[in-house]
A = this chain, B = another copy of it.
Amino acid sequence: MKKSPTILDIAREAGVSKSTVSRILNNAENVSPRTRQRVLEVMLKYRYRPNIFARGLGGRRTGVVGVIVTDITNPFYSILVRGIEDVCRVYRYNIFLCNTDGREEEERIHIESLTERRVDGVILASTMLNEDSLAGLLERGVKVVLVARLLEDNSSFNYVVVDNAMGGYLAAKHLLTLGHKRIAYIAGPWFSSPNLDRFAGFQKALGEIGLGVDEKLIVQGDFTMESGYLAGMKLAKSSSPRPTAVFAANDAMAIGAMEAFSELGIDVPHEMSVIGFDDIPLGALRCIQLTTVSQSIYDQGAISGRTLIERILEPEKEGIQQIVLPPKLVVRKTCARVPGVESRNEGSGS
């Protein structure tokens, strides 16, 4: 293993001083074209790359950000990360990828490690958020952007989210318009702000026509397809009378539930309407055709990446950026009108 050449090696070989080479590395103006040319040739010859650790020692920016997600295997996160990576690449930023599996402890460890590695910023998309860790980051001047989740007190954080309450409202409204009254909710964890907000929107829509949420029709999930499957099973078997529609807090759970219904021979949409949230590509498959509330996942990633890098590159702009994107209803084929109900939004039908 050859030792990497240093700035001194290059300087000697080119017959100049370290300073001159350093100037060229940093694109400084005051170097004669001839010297620059000669030094560049030597650099090329030795495949010289400046030692980033030596550079970083000066306390300048490191050109690295951390991205913390729950599980990259989940298409939601992989698309989000892709959006982030694409903008980072433009700015020549590298990203550290961290999976937490929703465990607060893992998240703490990752944040510590990222701090230690002196990242310029962190994008947080994981389910749990430990406010103490975040405080530590801010204290050290590390820029932070929350994406697709909120904290109780967001006042001091940059964030990018969809209007989850509105999304939940849209979903519920769609089902209500189709005449559904007994609507189940497959929930995500209750410490998750998207779940909370989607549920709030759902509840609001029901409330508007004087309907309450039946607690027996709320089934707990954790945003995974498996949990959706289990929830679907539970809903189909134990609740009587059976709900005519299900609003799942995300697409993965909606699809999981549909797996269960399919297994039990319950026809979607005619015996059971299903609506999800996220609009992951999977839902668009012909054999699924999931009606859902769309949030542009990639865009959220890209926007959060841009927000973060702007904050890093222009720290003098102190303003906090808080972006709320509008969700959109995507009607496909998993929701149908309740049999025997006229096309009215309200009223006692049946």
Question: Is A42 part of the binding interface, using a Cβ–Cβ cutoff of 8 Å?
Answer: no
Closest B residue to A106 by CB, please name it: B89
Which residues of A71-102 are within 8 A (CB) of B?
71-73, 75, 78-79, 81-82, 85-86, 89, 92, 94-99
A47 pairs with B285, CB closer than 8 A: no
The 8 Å CB contact of A285, one of B99, B106, B255, is B255
Question: Is A24 part of the binding interface, using a Cβ–Cβ cutoff of 8 Å?
Answer: no
B282 pairs with A262, CB closer than 8 A: no
Q: For A3, list chain B residues within 8 Å (CB).
A: 59
B57 pairs with A81, CB closer than 8 A: no
B99 pairs with A96, CB closer than 8 A: no
Interface residues as binary, A116-160 with B (CB distance below 8 Å gives 1, 0 otherwise): 111000000000000000001001110000000000000000000
- Cα A171 to Cα B52 with chains together (Å): 48
Q: Smallest CB–CB gap between A83 and chain B, Å?
A: 10
- Cα A67 to Cα B95 with chains together (Å): 11
Number of copies: 2
Count of interface residues, chain A, beta-carbon cutoff 8 Å: 58
Interface residues as binary, A19-50 with B (CB distance below 8 Å gives 1, 0 otherwise): 00000000000000000000000000001011
A78 pairs with B73, CB closer than 8 A: yes
Question: Is A56 part of the binding interface, using a Cβ–Cβ cutoff of 8 Å?
Answer: yes
B73 pairs with A116, CB closer than 8 A: no
Question: Is A278 part of the binding interface, using a Cβ–Cβ cutoff of 8 Å?
Answer: no
A117 pairs with B52, CB closer than 8 A: yes
Which residues of A252-308 are within 8 A (CB) of B?
255, 259, 262-263, 282, 285-288
A263 pairs with B282, CB closer than 8 A: no
Q: For A95, list chain B residues within 8 Å (CB).
A: 96-97
Q: A72-B85, A85-B72, A97-B97 are in contact. Are A141 and B49 (CB under 8 A)?
A: no
B117 pairs with A94, CB closer than 8 A: yes
